[in-house]
Amino acid sequence: MDGSDHLAHERSKAQFDVEKMKIVWAGSLYAFQVSNQIARLVAGDPAFRKENRAVLSRKELFKNTLRKAAHAWKRITELGLSEEEASWLRFYVDELSYAYVHWGMFVPAIKGSGTEEQQNKWLPLATNMQIIGTYAQTELGHGSNVRGLETTSNFDPKTDEFIIHSPTLTSSKWWPGGLGKIATHAVVYARLITDGQDHGVHGFIVQLRSLDDHLPLPGITVGDIGMKFGSGAFNSLDNGFVRFDHVHIPRNQMLMRVSQVTREGKYVHSNVPRQLVYGAMVYVRQIIVVDASIALSRAVCIAARYSAVRRQFGSENHEISGTGVETQVIDYKTQQSRLFPLLASAYAFRFIGEWLKWLYTDLTQKLEANDFSTLPEAHACTAGLKSLTTSAAADGIEECRKLCGGHGYLSSSGLPELYAVFVPACTYEGDNIVLLLQVARFLMKTISKLPSGRNYELSGATAYMGHMEHYLIKYSCNVQKAEDWLKPNTILEAFEARAIRMCFACAQNLTKFADQSEGFSELSTDLVEAAIAHCQLIVVSKFIEKLQQNIEGNGVKQQLETLCYIYALHLIHKNSGDFLSTGSLKPKQASLANDQLRSLYAKVRPNVIALVDAFNYSDHFLGSVLGCYDGNVYPKLYEEARKDPLNDSVVADGYGEYIQPLLNQQLLNARL
């Protein structure tokens, strides 16, 4: 069989309604229909072709991206696409450009922190692309420590202006996408100073370039920070630097929804709660979690399809005689044990992204009603899950590359660029380890409020901590046979026991330090591990909750159950040391979890290709010769190789200068 036959045969094995699973993955029938329509529109437009990205120079790549971004805006306006539809179009164009930050950070910052008057002025300009914005927070010397930002904004009551200034080299804004060459405006975060008093970091709308000739305005030094990791990836985006030399802006360009500076220079708070600012942070991080599920699912789709097409080795008789059919790579147990948990993780992260979207909506409604009760938990959940999912997705993409063997290293596989595009998510919007330490602080604070030795009513993701007597004293896992691991409550209790015991151990060890900050620093590794245990519990619990919903489609729920158990049991396998050391499991129970995990691999094997088909990714979006829907991998690999610029000539450039003298033994006499 050729590759096409392989995948057709694999699809015929499906034991569930694939079309219904596509709707489950999309989130709703409406979302599926809209995304499907836009995906076809983008894939069918020759202007959005992207297969030559890896061989373009930086300047060619950047200019090509500008062309695509302009064409995308042209299509959005011509078709009268809604905001949601336009977002889908930019998503499926799948090329990082200034629009990525303009729509994802600049516009939300004005919506979240601008007054109604400021929104009425700036949003029409931004949404009609009459100005192009970026988000200038990170500095050369400070990223995660926002309080340590050095850029200043001094108010001058004589001119009714703020003076934006970069007092040191390390105060240079560094990394904002779109800043290097394109952005006309930026939301700049700087220390607000009035009458010599520092009021902390605030946001200001600053014009960077002239709207007539695009030259930097006086006092502004701006440029691109240079090549980044990967051949295409983020190199299509002009991540930039900017330094301000006493740049004057009007007072009303301070984002003043939460706090203002009066004409007389008095710093005052508005009636709008300051906590609303955190809503934007929660929003961005829940988007990143969704991005993690998409990036991982793309890699898994490529690796799964290629593993079904690729044949390697076989029986001893086959190897001796050189005849017969080799074994599909996907049938090797070592391949399954590496690939199938990543498939399960992609689905798990998709559903946790849905839950975070609900959490953000709920939080926004509460904040608007001056109810801040859920803000600390929402902040901790989005911080921790952003860290957990992005780290797992980055590692998973690299594992998928290795699962594809040598061909996975080719740019045409789509995996190197996918990795290079996604891996910065482990750093931006909060370094992953720093975020986990924030989660740990929240958990330690939660524990400190619990009455000693008694159960206590808690809600949300920390509800399990209210049952400390049960989990610290009475709990014992009741698994007796492998099948017992197919009970959701059994899995949940094991994860809850591990998380609460790790958290309480950290809390107890912290009491041994007179200086809590010293204790937190000394125990930071343990605290990070406890935070991870808490976040893994959240993902498992929300996956189980998903299974309790009314899910339509023949066999769909059964497949999701299998994936849920694979995700949970694989975590037990990978973190068995935590489960055993905390007494949450006994060695025999951990062994039974592995036995059940292996049987689940066999159960999911016939459905793997159908499960990745449910992601509904077009070949254009997937961008991989190894993951193409028709499975014709080898002809496509050969075709891509022939198209490389090095093959434009039969004899290599430089042959006459460097190779011919060598072959003729004339190199010693040649002038290089």
Task: Report pLDDT digits (tens) over 206-229.
Answer: 999 999 999 999 999 999 999 999
Structure tokens at 243: 């330094």
Q: State the DSSP code for 322.
A: T
- Annotated binding residue 279: no
pLDDT of residue 456: 66
Q: State the DSSP code for 209.
A: B
By DSSP bridging, strand 220-224 and strand 240-244 are antiparallel
Taking the C-alpha atoms of residue 90 and residue 183, their distance in angstroms, rounded to an integer, is 18
pLDDT of residue 455: 58
pLDDT of residue 321: 44
Does pLDDT of 322 surpass 90?
Answer: no
Does pLDDT of 3 surpass 70?
Answer: no
Does pLDDT of 52 surpass 50?
Answer: yes
Span 364-396, pLDDT tens digits: 888 888 888 888 899 999 999 999 999 999 999
pLDDT of residue 145: 81
Contact 590, 580 (CB under 8 A): yes
pLDDT of residue 4: 73
Taking the C-alpha atoms of residue 111 and residue 226, their distance in angstroms, rounded to an integer, is 31
Q: Please, what are the domains in the chain?
A: 104-272 (2.40.110.10)
Q: Which residues are catalytic?
A: 429
Q: From residue 166, how far is each of 24, 149, 175, 373, 506 by CA, in Å?
A: 49, 10, 15, 38, 41
Residue 59 forms beta bridges with which residues? Answer: none
pLDDT of residue 276: 72
Task: Kindly state the average pLDDT of the residues 278-299.
Answer: 91
Task: Kindly state the average pLDDT of the residues 514-529.
Answer: 95
pLDDT of residue 278: 75
Q: From residue 297, how far is each of 195, 266, 339, 394, 569 by CA, in Å?
A: 53, 52, 11, 11, 20
Task: Kindly state the average pLDDT of the residues 106-115.
Answer: 92
pLDDT band at 465 (very low <50, low <70, confident <90, very high): very high
Contact 341, 399 (CB under 8 A): no
Contact 426, 390 (CB under 8 A): yes
Contact 308, 326 (CB under 8 A): no
Does pLDDT of 75 surpass 80?
Answer: yes
Span 542-556, pLDDT tens digits: 999 999 999 999 999
pLDDT of residue 275: 72
Taking the C-alpha atoms of residue 552 and residue 555, their distance in angstroms, rounded to an integer, is 9
Span 410-462, pLDDT tens digits: 999 999 999 999 999 999 888 999 999 999 999 999 998 887 645 567 788 99
pLDDT of residue 370: 82
Which is nearest to 407 in space by CA: 640, 105, 602?
640
pLDDT of residue 488: 96
Structure tokens at 389: 């999912």
Long-range contacts of 322-329 (CB under 8 A, 24+ apart): 328/6
Does pLDDT of 320 surpass 50?
Answer: no
Contact 342, 329 (CB under 8 A): no
Q: From residue 539, how far is each of 64, 152, 295, 384, 637 by CA, in Å?
A: 39, 41, 17, 11, 38
- Annotated binding residue 654: no
Residue 194 forms beta bridges with which residues? Answer: 197
Structure tokens at 636: 């496509």
Taking the C-alpha atoms of residue 110 and residue 10, their distance in angstroms, rounded to an integer, is 49
Task: Kindly state the average pLDDT of the residues 106-114.
Answer: 92
Write down the pTM of the prediction: 0.94
Contact 507, 444 (CB under 8 A): yes
H or E stretch at 347: helix 333-368
pLDDT band at 11 (very low <50, low <70, confident <90, very high): very high
Report the alpha-carbon angle 352-382-543, nearest 5.
15
pLDDT band at 51 (very low <50, low <70, confident <90, very high): confident
Does pLDDT of 347 surpass 70?
Answer: yes
Span 582-610, pLDDT tens digits: 999 999 999 999 999 999 999 999 999 99
Three-class DSSP labels, 458-471: CCHHHHHHHHHHHH
Which is nearest to 358 in space by CA: 296, 431, 282?
282
pLDDT of residue 532: 98
Name the 3-class secondary structure at 88.
helix
Strands (E) located in 57-120: none
Three-class DSSP labels, 277-311: HHHHHHHHHHHHHHHHHHHHHHHHHHHHHHHHHCE
Locus of tokens 């030259």: 215
